[in-house]
Amino acid sequence: MATKNKGAGRVAWSSEQFNLFVKICVRGTNLGKRNGGGWGDKGYTWLQNELRQVGVEYTKEQLRHKWDWMKDQWKMWKALKGNETGLGWDPIKGTVVAPDEWWNEKIKTTTYAVDIICSYYLSYIHKEPCMDSFHTGLVWLQEIMRGNERRCVNLFRMDKDTLIKLCLDLECHYKLKCSKKMTILEKVGMFLYVLALGASNRQVQERFQHSGETVSRNFHEVLKAMLCLSIDMIKPTDPTFSNIPPEILNDDRYMPHFKDCIGAIDGTHVSACVQEENLIRFIGRKGVPTQNIMAACSFDMQFTFVMAGWEGTAHDGRLFQYAINKQNLNFPKPPPGKYYVVDAGYQQMEGYLAPYKVWKARWKILRTMPPYSFYVQRDIVVVSMALHNYIRRKALADPAFERLDKSPNFIPPDIFRDVDDIQAEESSQESGALQMNALRDQIACSLMLANNDY
C-alpha cells in the first residue's frame, strides 16, 4: 500500500523513506537527471515517479524542501570535517566520533555564546526598567502647576503663566516638538530644572523618571530651540535708540545728564569646566577656570548683546574690540550722539548693572558648570541671558525684578536660594549690603551739598 503525504509544506520522513530517497537521488545524479545544484521541474517529476513506484507519495514541493535540507546538512558536515581537528569516523555506527576534550571545549564555547546572547537580550531587548516610580516627571509637573506659585518660581525661576508661554513659544515659533513619551512642558521643565538648580544628569533621571540617554538628548534638543529664541530675545527693544529710556527720563539724578546714554557694557566671568591641558588659559584673576563674557544691558535690566565663550585670561579690552569690529556679531552700535557707559561710568550708574547679579543668582548652573563640551557651556550662558530677558518681558510678577524696580540701587542677595542652601548669615549679608548702600547715598548727598555751598 502506497504511503501518501498530502499537503504543500514540510512533512515527517521515516528513516526508511529517507534512506530510499537518498539512494534514488544518487541514482538520478549518476543518470544526469539533476539540473546544476538542484533538480528542476523535470528532475523532481522523475524523483516523484521513482518514489511512487516503491509506494511513497510526496509532492514536488515536499521533495524540494527535503533536498534543500540535505544540502544544508552537507555544507555543515563539509565545514566541520574540513576545519575541525580531533574528529574521526565510526564506520560501525556511521557517525562522527571525537574525544571528550573536544566536546567539553564545544560545550564551553556554546555556553559562553548563550551567556552573551542572554546578556544582550536583557540589556537591549527586554530591559528591566530602572525608573519605575508612579510619580513620574509629568505627574510631578502637573502637581507643581496646580500648586502654590512660589514652588514654580523656586524650581524653574519663573511663574506658571510665564512657563506656559515659554512652552508655547518654543513649540510654535522655534520648532521644539513633543515626543511619544514626553510633552513640551516636561521637556522644558527638565531643561529649566538643570539650569535653575544645577542638577546633574542622575538627579534629573530620578526626578523625572527618564533614562540618562533621554535626559541628555532632551537637554540638547531644548538648548537648540532656546538658542533660536535667544536671537530674538537678546537685542535692543528700540533698535534705533531714538527714545530716551524711561529709567533715565523719570529719574532726576540722571536726567538730563545721561539722556543720550543707551546702556552699559560690562564684562563678567562664569565658571568653566575645561580639560586639564586648557586650565592655564582659563584661570583668570579669580583663581578658578572661568569663561569671560562681554555683555551690554539696557536700563530696564535686559541684556541687549552678549559674547560668551572666551577664556578667563582674555582681557576685557580684547573682547570689546573684537565685538565692535566683527560684523557678524551684530553689536548694537550707538548712533551719533549716543553712547554706552563703560569702566569709569559704572561707578556713576551702578544700580543699572543689577541684571548681572540677578542673572547669576537666578541660574545656579552658572556657579558650577557641569562637564559639558565647552561649546555647550558657552551656549548655556547665552540661553540663560535670553531666559532672563524673556522673564523680564513676559512675567507679570517676578520677585527679583519687582525688588529692583522699587529700589534700583539695591544690591540683590541670592533671591532664588534653595531651601538646602539657606544659611544663618543671609540676614546679616543683606543687612550689610543695605548699610553700604545707605553709606554710599549719604556720601553722595554730602558731596552734592558741598558743591552747592560753593
Phi, psi of 57 (to 5 degrees): -115, 120
In this predicted structure, what is the pLDDT of residue 423? 40
Any idea which residue has 522699587 for its cell? Answer: 406
Question: What DSSP line would sit under 87-153, residue for residue?
Answer: -EEETTTTEEE--HHHHHHHHHHHHHHHHHHHHHIIIIISPPPS---SS-HHHHHHHHHHS-HHHHH
| Mean pLDDT calculated for residue range 270-280 | 88
| Mean pLDDT calculated for residue range 158-182 | 94
Tens digit of each residue's pLDDT (9 = 90 or more) over 7-20: 555 677 888 888 88
The yes-or-no verdict on residue 267 having pLDDT over 80 is yes
In this predicted structure, what is the pLDDT of residue 55? 85
Tens digit of each residue's pLDDT (9 = 90 or more) over 62-80: 888 888 888 888 887 776 6
In this predicted structure, what is the pLDDT of residue 89? 62
In this predicted structure, what is the pLDDT of residue 100? 73
Q: Give helix then strand counts, H and E, for the chain.
A: 18, 8
The yes-or-no verdict on residue 351 having pLDDT over 90 is no
| Mean pLDDT calculated for residue range 196-217 | 93
Look up residue 263 and give its amino acid. Answer: G
What global pTM score does this model have?
0.64
Higher pLDDT, 123 or 369: 369
The yes-or-no verdict on residue 435 having pLDDT over 70 is no
The yes-or-no verdict on residue 241 having pLDDT over 50 is yes
The yes-or-no verdict on residue 425 having pLDDT over 50 is no
